[in-house]
C-alpha cells in the first residue's frame, strides 16, 4: 500500500476498501481458509430456520445449474450472514475445491473477517449484484476463481440471503451474470408471493375466527347470491343448524332475498337494520339485517355480507318504535287493604300461567302498574313489554299500529314497512290500555289475532306467528258497552279469561296513610332532613274525599302541597282550594256543616265508619281463605280468638 503501488490503486473502490479492512483485521493473504463453522446441530437449526428460502431457491438452483454445469461453474446459496446453506457443483470442481482446503462447504461462513475479500461478503455488504474475479480476492488461494452473484430479499425488502455462481476465471461467460440476476429476481418474487399468500392465509383465518365467534349472525355470499360462508349464530337464527350449507341460494332463506340481490349485489348499495322475513323450516320469523357489498380492486361487486341480529339483540328495534319498558314490580304496588291484597294475589297467580288478562278499574287506579308487575313476575320478564293506548290513536291508525304494514302499502308510510306492536312484543307482553275505545271493525282483527295467535300486516297475505301475553285494561263497564253495541260479545269472552278488578281509592281508604307517606318520601328524597310530617286532620280529610282521580289524583295533591311547604308539618291549610271546596260541598249535601271544626268531626266519623267497613271486609276475606277457622283468622289479625268473636258479632257476621 506504498505510494506507486499500481496494483492496489487500480482496484475498484469496493475492492480497495475491502482490502484496507482486511489488512486492519490482520487477514493472512496466503491463507484464505474460513475458521468459522457451525456444528451439525447448529447447521440443522439454520436449515430449519431457512426452510422456506431453501424450498423456493433449490428448484431454481437446479435449473440454473443445468444451464451452466458444462462450464464448470457451481451454484451456491447462503443466508444473510454469509453461511453457506447449499452447494451444487460438478464432481471435478468439488474435488478441486477440496484440494485447496479453504473450507468452502455448507455450514461454513464466508465473510470478510473470515477469508478476506470475496464475492459472498461483497454481495451481502453492498446488497446488490456483484462480480469479483481472480486477483481481486484478497487471499491468493482464491485467485483462480471468479464469483458472480446477487442478494435475495423478502417481501419487506429485508436481506435473507444470496445466490452465487462460482468457477474458474477462464470459464466465465458474459451472460452468466444476467442469468444469476434473473434467477434471484424470480426467487425474490416467489418469496414475495409466498409471503403475501401467507399473510392472506393468516388474514383469512383471522376473519374466519372472528366470523365464527361473533354474537351476530353472518352470511357471506358470492355475486350471484349463493352462500359462501355462514356462522353458527346465523344458522341458529335461521333455524337450520345443519340444513344451510355453502351453495345455498339466499332466496331460499329470505322471503325478500331479491331485494338483497337487486340492491346490494346488483347496484352495490347497502342497508342498515332492515327488517327481513326469515323462512325457517317450521315458521317465518322477522330479523334485523345489515347488508353491504364486497368490492374487488376494480370496484366491481364480488359478493356481499349480511349481518343478522339475534332475538336477544332486537331490543333496539323495540326501543325505536315503542319506548315503553316495564319498571314496576308487585313490591312497588302500595296497599295492605283487603280489596287491594285480593287484586295483587290474583294478579300474581295470573302472571304465572295466563295468556290473556283483563284489568278493570277506574282511571288512576294503577292498571298499567299492575300490567308491568304481571310482566316482570312472569317467565317472559326478559322479553319486551309493549304498551299501546287504544283511546289515544286515530281510528285509521289503530290497525297499522297493532299489526304493522309492508313496504309500499300507503302514501306517507315508511318505505321499508314497519312492524306492529304485536310483532314488537313477540316473546313478551303487549298491554292494550282503554280496550273499550277500540273501533268495532278493529275488534274483529284483534279477536282473530287472539284466536289464531298470528297476525297479518296491512298489505300482506303472509301470517306472522305471535307468542305474547295479552293484558287489556278498561275503565268502562264492558258489559254495558256490549249492550250499547260498542263492544263485541265474542271478544269480551275471549278477553275475560282472568279478570282482575283494581279497587278505587275510596274503597281502600286504609291504604291512604301508606300512600301519602310513600309519596312524601319519594318526592322529598333529595332533602331527607326536611321531610314534613302529615297532620292527622289531613288524613281525615283525605279519607272523607271521594277521589274520582284515585291514586293518581292523590299523588298530584301531595305534590302540590309539598311545593309550598318548607318542612315541618303538612297541615290542612296546605290543601288545594278546589279539593277543600269539593269535600265541603260533598259533606254539606249529606249534613250541614257550620264551621271547619264541625267538618273535621264529621270527617273523623266518616273515617271511623269506613275503617269499620274495611275491617269487616278483611275478616270476611280471611274467613274464606282460612276455611272458617277462627283461630287461624285470629293469628292473621294478631288478636285473640275472643276478640275475633266480638268483631264477628259487632259486624253482624255471626248472630
SS (H, E, C) 324-353: CCCCCCHHHCCCCCHHHHHHHHHHHHHHHH
- Pair (103, 224) in one structural domain: no
Neighbouring C-alpha atoms within 13 Å toward the C-beta of 21: 18
Q: 350: domain CATH number?
A: 3.40.50.300
Which residues, including other chains, have CB under 8 Å from residue 271's CB and lie 6 or more apart? Answer: 263, 264, 289, 290, 291
Give the separation between CA 303 and CA 90, rounded to whole angstroms: 55
End-to-end Cα, the chain, rounded Å: 142
Question: Residue 413: its pLDDT value, please?
Answer: 52
- Pair (55, 141) in one structural domain: yes
Question: Residue 594: its pLDDT value, please?
Answer: 45
Give the separation between CA 648 and CA 616, rounded to whole angstroms: 8
Selected residue with higher pLDDT from 566 and 424: 424
Percent of the chain topping pLDDT 70: 85
- Pair (411, 496) in one structural domain: yes
Q: What is the pLDDT of residues 357-391, one digit of tens each?
A: 999 999 999 999 999 999 999 998 888 899 999 88
Q: Diameter of the chain by CA atoms?
A: 149
Of the residues 166, 196, 226, the one at which a domain ends:
196
Q: What is the pLDDT of residues 171-217, one digit of tens each?
A: 777 777 788 888 888 888 888 888 888 888 888 888 888 888 887 88
Q: What is the pLDDT of residues 226-263, one digit of tens each?
A: 888 888 888 887 776 556 667 788 888 887 777 788 88
Question: Residue 584: its pLDDT value, please?
Answer: 63
Work out the average pLDDT over 27-48. Answer: 94
Residue 379 CB burial class (10 angstroms; 0-12, 13-18, ≥19) = exposed
- Pair (528, 554) in one structural domain: yes
Of the residues 503, 527, 557, the one at which a domain ends:
503
Query: Is the pLDDT score of 600 beyond 70?
Result: no
Does 598 fall in a domain?
no
* Angle (deg, nearest 10), helices 367-377 and 338-353: 40
- Pair (187, 224) in one structural domain: no
Confidence of residue 7 (pLDDT cuts 50, 70, 90): low
- Pair (231, 160) in one structural domain: no
- What are the angstrom distances between the C-alpha of 70 and each of 67, 163, 404, 524? 7, 19, 86, 105
What does pLDDT average to over the chain?
83
Selected residue with higher pLDDT from 341 and 251: 341
Question: Residue 585: its pLDDT value, please?
Answer: 67
Sign for the CA dihedral angle at 184, 189, 195, 201 comes to: negative
Query: Is the pLDDT score of 319 beyond 60?
Result: no
Selected residue with higher pLDDT from 201 and 345: 345
Confidence of residue 328 (pLDDT cuts 50, 70, 90): very high
Domain hosting 96: range is: 11-196
Instruction: Kindly report each contact of residues 403-408 with a partner whose C-beta sits within 8 Å and lies 24 or more positions away, as own/partner.
Output: 403/445, 403/449, 403/455, 403/456, 403/457, 403/458, 404/455, 404/457, 404/458, 405/457, 405/458, 405/459, 405/460, 406/457, 406/458, 406/459, 406/460, 407/459, 408/459
Residues facing 130 on adjacent strands: 149
Question: Residue 26: its pLDDT value, please?
Answer: 94
Of the residues 503, 521, 543, the one at which a domain ends:
503
Q: What is the pLDDT of residues 114-165, one digit of tens each?
A: 999 999 999 999 999 899 999 999 999 999 999 988 999 988 889 999 999 9
The strands making up 429-433's β-sheet, listed across from edge to edge, are 385-389, 429-433, 469-474, 356-360, 498-501
Does 595 fall in a domain?
no
Does 386 fall in a domain?
yes
Q: Are 227 and 219 in contact (CB under 8 A)?
A: yes
- Pair (496, 536) in one structural domain: no
The C-alpha cell that represents 520 in the structure block: 312524601
- Pair (68, 128) in one structural domain: yes
Give the separation between CA 223 and CA 244, rounded to whole angstroms: 18
* Three-state DSSP class for residue 564: coil
Where do the H-state alpha helices sit in 468-575? 478-483, 489-495, 512-523, 536-544, 550-563
Where do the H-state alpha helices sit in 545-595? 550-563, 577-590
Residue 227 CB burial class (10 angstroms; 0-12, 13-18, ≥19) = buried
Confidence of residue 35 (pLDDT cuts 50, 70, 90): very high
Confidence of residue 592 (pLDDT cuts 50, 70, 90): very low
Find which of 57-71, 202-216, 578-592, 623-637 is predicted with most confidence, using mean pLDDT. 57-71
- What are the angstrom distances between the C-alpha of 441 and each of 157, 243, 413, 447? 78, 43, 22, 10
Sign for the CA dihedral angle at 601, 607, 613, 615 comes to: negative
Kindly report the length of the chain: 655
DSSP-assigned letter for residue 412:
T
Q: Are 77 and 85 in contact (CB under 8 A)?
A: yes
Does 4 fall in a domain?
no
Q: 581: domain CATH number?
A: 1.10.8.60
Work out the average pLDDT over 330-344. Answer: 92
The model's pTM: 0.54
- Pair (53, 143) in one structural domain: yes
* Residue linked to cell 258479632: 649
Give the separation between CA 96 and CA 102, rounded to whole angstroms: 11
Work out the average pLDDT over 79-92. Answer: 90
Does 102 fall in a domain?
yes
Question: Residue 8: its pLDDT value, please?
Answer: 72
Query: Is the pLDDT score of 33 beyond 90?
Result: yes
Least confident range from 71-80, 313-322, 424-433: namely: 313-322
Residues facing 153 on adjacent strands: 159
Least confident range from 24-33, 468-477, 627-636: namely: 627-636
Least confident range from 73-82, 170-179, 328-337, 590-599: namely: 590-599
Question: Residue 593: its pLDDT value, please?
Answer: 43
Give the separation between CA 167 and CA 134, rounded to whole angstroms: 10
- Pair (472, 406) in one structural domain: yes
Q: Are 544 and 587 in contact (CB under 8 A)?
A: yes
Question: Residue 603: its pLDDT value, please?
Answer: 55
**Phi, psi (deg, nearest 5) at residue 227:** -70, 130
Q: Hey, what's the torsion of the CAs at 262, 265, 267, 271, to 10 degrees?
A: 80
Q: Residue 292: enclosing H or E segment and its boundaries?
A: strand 284-295
Selected residue with higher pLDDT from 37 and 169: 37
Which residues, including other chains, have CB under 8 Å from residue 652's CB and lie 6 or more apart? Answer: none
Q: What is the pLDDT of residues 517-553, one digit of tens each?
A: 888 888 765 555 567 788 888 888 888 888 999 999 9
Does 202 fall in a domain?
no
Give the separation between CA 331 and CA 14, rounded to whole angstroms: 92
Query: Is the pLDDT score of 497 beyond 70?
Result: yes
- Pair (21, 48) in one structural domain: yes
**Strand blocks (E) in 361-424:** 385-389, 404-405, 418-419
Does 354 fall in a domain?
yes
* Residue linked to cell 482486511: 22
Question: Residue 203: its pLDDT value, please?
Answer: 86
**Phi, psi (deg, nearest 5) at residue 254:** -105, 135
Q: 280: domain CATH number?
A: 3.30.450.20
Does 114 fall in a domain?
yes
- Pair (357, 399) in one structural domain: yes
Question: Count of domains in the chain?
Answer: 5
Q: 104: domain CATH number?
A: 3.30.450.40
Where do the H-state alpha helices sit in 354-409? 367-377, 398-403
Confidence of residue 622 (pLDDT cuts 50, 70, 90): confident
Amino acid at each position: 500500500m506504498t505510494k506507486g503501488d499500481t496494483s492496489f490503486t487500480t482496484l475498484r473502490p469496493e475492492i480497495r476498501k475491502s482490502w484496507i479492512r482486511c489488512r486492519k483485521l490482520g487477514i493472512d493473504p496466503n491463507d484464505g481458509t474460513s475458521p468459522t463453522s457451525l456444528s451439525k446441530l447448529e447447521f440443522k437449526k439454520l436449515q430449519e430456520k431457512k426452510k422456506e428460502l431453501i424450498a423456493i431457491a433449490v428448484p431454481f438452483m437446479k435449473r440454473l445449474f443445468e444451464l451452466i454445469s458444462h462450464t464448470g461453474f457451481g451454484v451456491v446459496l447462503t443466508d444473510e450472514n454469509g453461511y453457506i446453506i447449499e452447494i451444487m457443483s460438478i464432481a471435478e470442481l468439488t474435488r478441486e475445491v477440496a484440494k485447496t482446503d479453504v473450507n468452502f462447504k455448507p455450514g461454513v461462513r464466508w465473510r470478510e473477517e473470515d477469508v478476506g475479500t470475496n464475492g459472498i461478503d461483497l454481495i451481502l455488504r453492498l446488497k446488490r449484484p456483484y462480480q469479483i474475479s481472480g486477483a481481486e480476492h484478497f487471499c491468493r488461494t482464491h485467485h483462480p476463481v471468479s464469483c458472480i452473484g446477487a442478494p435475495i430479499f423478502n417481501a419487506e425488502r429485508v436481506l435473507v440471503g444470496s445466490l452465487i455462481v462460482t468457477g474458474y476465471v477462464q470459464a466465465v461467460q458474459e451472460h452468466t451474470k444476467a442469468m444469476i440476476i434473473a434467477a434471484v429476481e424470480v426467487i425474490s418474487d416467489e418469496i414475495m408471493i409466498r409471503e403475501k399468500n401467507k399473510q392472506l392465509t393468516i388474514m383469512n383465518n383471522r376473519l374466519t375466527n372472528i366470523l365464527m365467534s361473533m354474537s351476530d349472525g353472518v352470511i357471506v355470499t358470492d355475486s350471484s347470491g349463493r352462500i359462501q360462508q355462514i356462522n353458527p349464530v346465523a344458522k341458529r337464527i335461521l333455524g337450520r343448524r345443519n340444513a344451510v350449507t355453502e351453495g345455498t341460494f339466499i332466496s331460499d332463506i329470505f322471503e325478500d332475498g331479491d331485494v338483497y340481490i337487486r340492491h346490494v349485489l346488483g347496484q352495490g348499495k347497502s342497508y342498515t337494520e332492515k327488517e327481513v322475513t326469515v323462512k325457517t323450516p317450521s315458521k317465518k320469523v322477522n330479523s334485523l339485517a345489515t347488508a353491504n357489498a364486497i368490492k374487488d380492486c376494480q370496484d366491481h361487486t364480488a359478493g356481499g355480507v349480511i349481518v343478522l341480529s339475534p332475538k336477544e339483540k332486537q331490543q333496539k328495534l323495540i326501543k325505536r318504535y315503542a319506548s315503553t319498558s316495564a319498571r314496576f314490580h308487585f313490591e312497588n304496588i302500595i296497599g295492605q287493604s283487603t280489596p287491594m291484597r285480593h287484586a295483587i294475589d290474583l294478579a300474581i297467580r295470573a302472571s304465572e300461567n295466563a295468556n290473556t288478562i283483563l284489568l278493570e278499574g277506574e282511571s288512576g287506579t294503577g292498571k298499567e302498574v299492575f300490567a308491568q308487575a304481571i310482566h316482570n313476575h312472569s317467565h317472559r320478564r326478559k322479553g319486551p313489554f309493549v304498551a299501546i293506548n287504544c283511546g289515544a290513536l286515530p281510528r285509521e291508525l289503530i290497525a297499522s299500529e297493532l299489526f304493522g304494514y309492508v313496504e309500499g302499502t300507503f302514501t306517507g308510510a315508511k318505505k321499508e314497512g314497519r312492524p306492529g306492536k304485536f310483532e314488537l312484543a313477540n316473546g313478551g307482553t303487549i298491554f292494550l290500555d282503554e280496550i273499550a275505545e277500540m273501533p268495532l271493525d278493529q275488534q274483529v282483527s284483534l279477536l282473530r289475532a287472539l284466536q289464531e295467535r298470528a297476525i297479518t300486516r296491512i298489505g300482506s297475505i303472509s301470517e306472522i306467528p305471535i307468542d305474547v301475553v295479552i293484558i287489556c285494561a278498561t275503565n268502562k263497564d264492558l258489559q254495558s258497552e256490549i249492550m250499547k253495541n260498542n263492544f263485541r260479545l265474542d271478544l269480551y269472552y275471549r278477553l275475560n279469561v282472568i279478570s282482575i278488578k283494581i279497587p278505587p281509592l275510596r274503597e281502600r281508604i286504609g291504604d291512604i296513610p301508606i300512600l301519602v307517606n310513600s309519596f312524601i318520601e319519594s318526592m322529598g328524597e333529595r332533602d331527607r332532613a326536611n321531610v314534613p310530617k302529615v297532620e292527622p286532620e289531613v288524613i281525615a280529610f283525605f279519607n272523607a274525599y271521594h277521589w274520582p282521580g284515585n291514586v293518581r289524583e292523590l299523588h298530584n295533591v301531595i305534590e302540590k302541597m309539598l311545593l309550598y311547604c318548607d318542612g315541618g308539618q303538612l297541615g290542612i291549610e296546605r290543601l288545594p282550594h278546589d279539593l277543600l271546596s269539593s269535600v265541603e260541598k260533598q259533606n254539606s249535601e249529606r249534613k250541614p256543616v257550620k264551621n271547619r271544626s264541625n267538618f273535621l268531626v264529621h270527617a273523623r266519623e266518616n273515617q271511623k265508619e269506613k275503617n269499620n267497613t274495611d275491617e269487616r271486609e278483611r275478616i270476611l276475606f280471611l274467613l274464606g281463605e282460612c276455611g272458617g277457622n277462627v283461630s287461624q283468622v285470629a293469628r292473621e289479625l294478631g288478636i285473640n280468638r275472643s276478640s275475633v268473636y266480638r268483631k264477628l258479632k259487632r259486624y253482624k257476621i255471626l248472630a
